[in-house]
Amino acid sequence: MSQDNVTIVRRMWEAFLSGDVPTALSFYSPDIEWDGSNLPDGPVGTGHDVIIEHVARCSESWDVWTVEVERVIEAGTDRVILLMREKGKSASGVVMDEVHAELYTLRDSMIVRRQGFSDPTEAFAAAGVSE
What's the pLDDT tens digit per position in 24-74? 999 999 999 999 888 777 778 999 999 998 888 877 888 998 999 999 999
Mean pLDDT of the chain: 92
> Of 106, 114, 73, which is closest to residue 1 (Cα–Cα)?
106
Strand residue runs (E) in the chain: 28-35, 44-46, 64-74, 79-89, 95-107, 110-117
Percent of the chain at pLDDT exceeding 90 = 79
How does pLDDT run across 96-107, given as a tens digit for each residue? Answer: 999 999 999 999
User: What is the predicted pLDDT for the residue at 2?
Assistant: 63
pLDDT at 1 over 80: no
For residue 116, give its domain range: 2-127
Whether 131 has a pLDDT exceeding 90, the answer reads no
pLDDT at residue 108 in the model:
95
Smallest CA-to-CA distance from 42 within 118, 96, 104 is with 118
Rounded to an integer, what distance in angstroms lies between the CA atom of residue 51 and that of residue 44?
9
Domains: count for the chain: 1
Question: How does 71-98 read in b/e, with b if 16+ C-beta sit within 10 Å?
Answer: ebbbbeeebbbbbbebebeeeeeeeeee
For residue 18, name the pLDDT band (cuts at 50, 70, 90).
very high
Say which CATH number the domain at 13 has: 3.10.450.50
More confident: 131 or 110: 110
CA–CA distance, 32 with 114 (Å, rounded to integer): 8
Q: Global pTM?
A: 0.92
